[in-house]
A = this chain, B = another copy of it.
C-alpha cells in the first residue's frame, strides 16, 4: 500500500475550489479544468477523485448542505422557543458573509436541480429536512403558547418553507432591496402573525 491519501479530505478540498470558481465565474465557469487550476492540480488528478464533472459538482453541493445542517444543530439554542426560533433563522439565513457565500453557491446549483437527477434528489432531501426543522419549531412555539394551536400545521410549514427560501433567494440576488435587517424583520413579523394574541391589524 503506497502513498496513502485521505480521499475524503482531498475531495472536500476540491469542493472548496468549486465554490471559489463558482463565486468568481458562475456555475457555467465551473469546468473541471478551472477547478483543477484553482486547487493547484491537473485536470486528470481531479478526475481521479471525481470520475465525472457532475459527481464533482454534486459533491460540492452536498458538502454545503451538510454544513448548513450542522449549523442548525439545536444544541446551543436558547431555551425560550420564540428566541430559539429567531436564533435558528439567524443561523439558517445567509446573513453573515460565510453563510452568504454558501447560499450564493446554492443558488448557482439550483439550475442543476432541473437537469441532474442526483442534484434533484439532494434538493428534495434538503427541502424535506428543512420542512422537519420548521415543523418542529412551529410545534414548539404552539406548545409554548407563542403560536395559535388552531393553525393548519402542514399549511404553515409549507408557508414558512416558501417564505424562507424566497427570503434566502432575495438576500443573495437582490441585496440592495433585501438587507439582512429587513430579512430579520420579515421573519419576526411573520411569526408575530401566527401568534394567538395577534390582532388582525398587526
Q: Which residues of A contact B (CB under 8 A)?
A: 22-29, 104, 107-116, 120, 123-124, 127-128, 131, 148-152, 155, 158-159, 161-167, 169-170, 172-174, 176-178, 182, 185-186, 189-190, 193, 195-202
Q: How far is the CA of A161 from the CA of B174 in the complex (A)?
A: 12
Flag if A112 contacts B161 (CB, 8 Å): no
Flag if A162 contacts B167 (CB, 8 Å): yes
Flag if A173 contacts B114 (CB, 8 Å): yes
Nearest B residue to A167 by beta-carbon distance? B162
Q: How far is the CA of A69 from the CA of B114 in the complex (A)?
A: 24
For A170, the chain B residues whose CB sits under 8 A away are 127, 161-162, 165
Can you give 7 contacting A-B residue pairs, CB < 8 Å?
A: A26-B111, A27-B115, A110-B111, A131-B177, A161-B170, A166-B167, A196-B201
Q: Is the interface of A mostly helix, strand, loop or mixed?
A: helix
The answer to whether A161 and B166 touch (CB under 8 A), given A111-B28, A111-B111, A177-B124, is yes
Flag if A110 contacts B28 (CB, 8 Å): no
For A25, the chain B residues whose CB sits under 8 A away are 115
Flag if A114 contacts B108 (CB, 8 Å): yes
For A131, the chain B residues whose CB sits under 8 A away are 177
A164 CB contact (under 8 Å) in B110, B166, B195: B166
Q: How far is the CA of A161 from the CA of B13 in the complex (A)?
A: 37
Q: How far is the CA of A193 from the CA of B198 in the complex (A)?
A: 11
A200 CB contact (under 8 Å) in B22, B107, B123, B195: B195
